[in-house]
Chain A
Amino acid sequence: MSLAAITRATLAKDLRLEWRSKDAINSMLFFALLVVVVFSFSFDPNAEESRQIAGGLVWVAFLFAAVVALNQTWARELRNQVLDAFRVAPAPANSLFLAKALGNFVFVCVLEALMTPLFVVFYKLRALGPAWQLIPVAVLGTWALVVNGTFFAAMSIRTRRREIMLPLLLFPISIPAILAMVNATTAILTGELSAWFWFVLLATYDVVFTIACLLLFETVLHAE
């Protein structure tokens, strides 16, 4: 059975389970909404200040919300020890990783699509640079978060305090990606600088960490 076919089957299964339970998406939405509202009460920036700080606010909100979902990614596989059923099956380990990462990517993209209009309204945002460039920033940035997040969530599933362990592992290694996402977003919103360098950094980060995670995931899956 091919990697693509099992990845598709696992992704479809995960999306179906999420559609029925709505565990991840509800937690993420609620959390991100709280961040938007609390931040909007905490700061009262004018339009120019908003452009300067929005990149950081948006990505911090999405990062924390994504962690909520990432923590639940593997919880479903631990319930009834279903992960063992996958481990004894002849399916390639990478298909499970890819399906989980793609599933998380979909969930976080849905969150971003729903929350971005709220950010625009609450912070009176209007991009002075090419706004369409926010789309590749979102795609590359989201993948950077979920690919590492999925991997480190898998690493921490057997630890006693996995909810704490995941951010401890994920945040430090995500610093280059977060820096690139925030700076690219700010550059586009203010229109002062080119975001090109940050695009290249994000794309490189994505490629390097996707390959590293794929190479190491089988070891993580079968670790005791």
Chain B
Amino acid sequence: MSARLFSTSSAASSIFTLTPFFTSTSVTSIPAAPTNSAVVIITDLVKQFGRFAALRGVTAEFAPGRLYAILGDNGAGKTTLLRALAGLTRPTRGTVLMLRTTNLRAVCKQVGYMAHSSLLYDEMSGMENLRYFARLYGIEEGQRCEMVLSAVGLEPGLTRAVGQYSQGMRQRMSLARAILHDPQILLLDEPFSNVDMGSAREMVNLLARMRDAGKTIFVVTHQSALLESAADEFVRMEAGQITSRTPHLRTAEAR
């Protein structure tokens, strides 16, 4: 299995050529100041759970075609921020403007979300899972699922139920579900947890290629070193606020 993980050949690269917005390759890897073309604009975002404030007035802009690594200790608000961007958590106060709209339901087809949990049915095979989710997104073409599975390094013909996959395979399967519908914005919560180093690096390469194809990617991770060369910006969160944004991992880690 590992030998064919994340093959950069046909299937892996061809998933980026299915829709027009994937074809853009003009994105630079040099970090730039936020511009009016920001795909995500967060203004004074507050999320409270009872008396606990998970987000305390987050304000930020994120440019398109960049890979953002969101770092921070447990409880810093990273997951809550990602869920707010995905439209899964309703902010107590503040706004999220995504692709020029605050109606996140309207742009949900342009957003891919990968959570801590796999968001997959354990009793179904990987292909069965993807076919079901493809229908939810109105994807008719049958080959799309096979291409996405190959792109994340999984065998499309695998008939085993997802519940019998290793943790690393489940993570890749979960990534496959998140990128199935060619989202413009990708929100990934700990995609490398429980994944071996080799597979994690291949995942990073895949994300870098997607970023180069014009995607905006947010990765919440505790394994920031993996993204040192791929991320355009490291966003540090502490106590529900963004405390620093820097293109250099060392600066982000030096608190």
Contacts and interface: CB of A to CB of B under 8 A. Distances in A.
A224 B89 contact: yes
Contacts, number: 70
A86 B136 contact: yes
A82 B119 contact: yes
Interface string B112-135: 010101111111100010001101
A80 B136 contact: no
A11 B111 CA distance: 25
B120 A90 contact: no
Interface residues of A, number: 25
Interface in B37-90: 86-90
A90 B119 contact: no
B165 to A, nearest CB: 12
A207 B81 CA distance: 41
A87 B87 CA distance: 8
Contact of A82 (B109, B120, B137): B120
Interface centre among A5, A79, A82, by most chain B C-beta atoms within 10 angstroms, is A82
B108 interface: yes
A85 B119 contact: yes
Chain B interface: which size bin?
20 to 34
A42 to B, nearest CB: 38
Interface of B: 86-90, 105, 108-109, 111, 113, 115, 117-124, 128, 132-133, 135-138, 177
Given A85-B120, A85-B177, 11 more contacts: A1-B136, A5-B135, A6-B136, A16-B128, A80-B122, A84-B119, A88-B88, A88-B108, A88-B111, A89-B133, A91-B137
12 contacts: A10-B132, A17-B121, A17-B123, A76-B121, A81-B117, A84-B115, A85-B133, A85-B136, A87-B87, A88-B86, A91-B137, A224-B90
Interface of A: 1, 5-6, 9-10, 13, 16-17, 20-21, 76, 79-82, 84-91, 222, 224
